[in-house]
Each structure stands twice: as structure tokens, then as C-alpha cells.
Amino acid sequence: MALWGVLIDILKTAATHAAPHVARTAVDMARERMAAGDPSRATAEEFAQELSAALAGFDQRLLAAEQRATAAEQQLIAMRESFDRKWESLRLWLIGLLIWSSAILGVLIYILVARK
């Protein structure tokens, strides 16, 4: 559940941040074509190739972000397991100290009662 939530958040963030950049790239390419006035450069295939190259770059950045999220989640899981082990150790120490304190208190009470 946590992994999917992180990936959805990454997708939401990437989509909101990338949409203006992709649109700006498409508009810039269209303006360059129109400004050039060269009919050989104004083919739809070349425009589609340029746009697909821009989208491929975005896909690579999105893939890198997903890999970083996966690595961060694995690190978080490892830290959680370490914390759980430390908490279990602390719990055992506290129980041991409670037993030790109870034993010492019992001996002291016995000594005080036996002296009277």
C-alpha cells in the first residue's frame, strides 16, 4: 500500500510539473517551424519525432524518480526493522530490570521483617 501511494504521489507531482514543460516544448517546436518558413522542415513526422524525444526524456526522469522512491522505501523498511529490534531489546531489558528490582525489594523486606 505504501509503495503504491508513493508511486501515485510521484505520478501526480510529475504530471503537474511536466504538463507545462511538455506543452511549452510543443509550442516552441511549432513556433520554430512556423518561423523558419521552410516547408521541408515542417513535416509532421519530424515534429512527432521531436515531441517523442521530449516525452522520452520525461519518461526517463520519471523512471529515475520511481527508482529513487523504491530505494527510499527499502531504506525505510530496513530502518523500521532496526527500530523494531531495538524496541524489543529495550522491552526485554526493562522487564529484566523490573524483575531484578522486585527481587532486591523482596530481599530487603525479608531482611527488615526478619530483624524485628
Question: Would you state the pLDDT for residue 69?
Answer: 92
Question: Would you state the pLDDT for residue 82?
Answer: 95
pTM: predicted TM-score of the whole model, two decimal places: 0.47
Tens digits of per-residue pLDDT, 21-34? 667 777 777 777 76
H helix or E strand, kind and range, residue 50: helix 44-115
CA dist list (Å): 102 to 13, 52, 116: 57, 74, 22
Confidence of residue 37 (pLDDT cuts 50, 70, 90): low
Domain locations along the chain: 2-115
Query: Residue 33 contacts by C-beta under 8 Å, 6 or more apart in sequence?
Result: 41, 42, 47
